[in-house]
Every structure is written in C-alpha cells, then in structure tokens.
Structure 1
Amino acid sequence: MSSPDVDLTIAGGSSVDVTIAEPGGVEVVVQELTTVVELDLAVPGIQGPPGERGPAGPGGGGYQEHVQTAPAREWTISHDFGRPPAVTVMDVDGNEIDAAVHSDEQTVIITLGPATAGRAHLT
C-alpha cells in the first residue's frame, strides 16, 4: 500500500512535503532537510450514542393567501405567523412576479413597480 503525499506551504513561503509513513508517524521534508516527527494521527473510532434531543424550534407551517383585487403599487398584509414569512407574489394570471417584500412578525408589505392586482402566498 503506497503512502499518500501532501504538499503544504508554511507562512513565509517555505515548502514542506508531508508523507504519511505509518500510523502514528509522519515524515516531514523541509526543502532539502528531512526530519521525522512523531504525531498522533486521529483514527476514526466507532460512533458514540446520540445526544439529547434539543429544544423545540419556533412554530412553523402555516399558510395564508392574500388576494389583491384592486391594482395597487403597495400591498399591506397582516398575518399571525409570529415570524417573518416566506412570500410568493403572483399576478392575476398566476405568474410569479418580482416585488420588494418587507416583513416582520405581524405584517408583510409588498412594493411593486406598476399598480398590480394578484395574489400573495405566505408560508
């Protein structure tokens, strides 16, 4: 079985070649000088038991659809997610459209270029 070679660059620009010689030992070659340095190489062991379950995360899920029937440049939507939701904005034909979306734990404000009617999906 051949030993893998690893090239390292040390601060200051010196070049170092590292060859794994055997478990527990590493041969270090610094330019023209060879020095053998004994290192404890970590060998993966068996996996330990799983840790304790962490605390529950913030509430997730939820869905809200906002229908904007009157064209407007700004849509203001109240929600009760308790967190800023992900927002998808669509025109009346169901095409996703680009919009500036600002949200917090209770409100979403969607700003569009031209006045637009459509829908917003909050998740």
Structure 2
Amino acid sequence: MNVGDLCSVFVYGTLQRGECRDSCWPFPPGRVERARIRAQLFDLGEYPAIVLGDDWVLGECWQFAPAEMARTLSILDDIEGYSGSPDDLYCRQVVEFERLDAEAEQEGQAYAYFFAQPHRLLQIGRRILPVDGVCCWPE
C-alpha cells in the first residue's frame, strides 16, 4: 500500500487530543473521530502500547489529506521510534477501526503503532483490562 492511499491514523495514547503530544501533528486534521480497534492495551507509565489482541481499545482516528500523509507519517515514525529496524520500539501497521461518532461509513482502515517487542510488555508494563467492554488510556 502506498502512503498516500491511506489517509487516517488511529491513536490511543499521548497523541490524542488533550494529551501531552497532541501538538506534535504536522498538519491540522481534516477530521478527528472517536474510534476503536481490536488489540490488547498496556500501560507503560508515561505512555501506552498495543499488541495484537481481541479487546476493544478506544482512541481517535485522525484523517488527513493525501498530500499530507507522507510528512505526517514521517513525524509520527520519529515520535514512535519506528524506522523499519528490528530494534524499533513500535511498528506501524494497518488496522481496521470502527467509528463511534459515525456520521460517515462505520468502519475503515488506518495506520496504528504497535509495540514491536510484545514479549517484553509484562516486564515493563501492565495490561489494561476492559471496563464496560473497552480499554482506554489513561484509565
């Protein structure tokens, strides 16, 4: 998939509105919607992490113009420690998400950042269990 083909990013932690990195986005979004994905959520202290799983994880889906995606992903890759190396902190993947404020199509695809070393999560963090069927950070 080419970078410009997908114009949404799902975030679940410090890049959400009102969190410490919400000003790091290089462009204003065309739209921000509450959304959820299937994953497992972990609290690593100052920030969260997700890995593959079946829990519902709450977050936001940020949408951008196609011409803005390459720069947006470059900035987010730096923030998330993703370069395509096996030693990365996070890896960028495409996920299926569900919109919770559905004025448009209910489901879609977005980029999201998953923890690249899931075997270490229980040593350095704590799994966030669902409350009322969903997981969110901060709790």
Give the TM interval when normalised to the shorter protein: under 0.3
TM-score between the two structures when normalised by the length of structure 1: 0.24
TM-score between the two structures when normalised by the length of structure 2: 0.22
- Higher helix fraction (1 or 2): 2
- Higher strand fraction (1 or 2): 1
Whose RCO is larger (CA < 8 A, sep 6+)?
A: 2
Higher Cα Rg: structure 1 or 2? Answer: 1
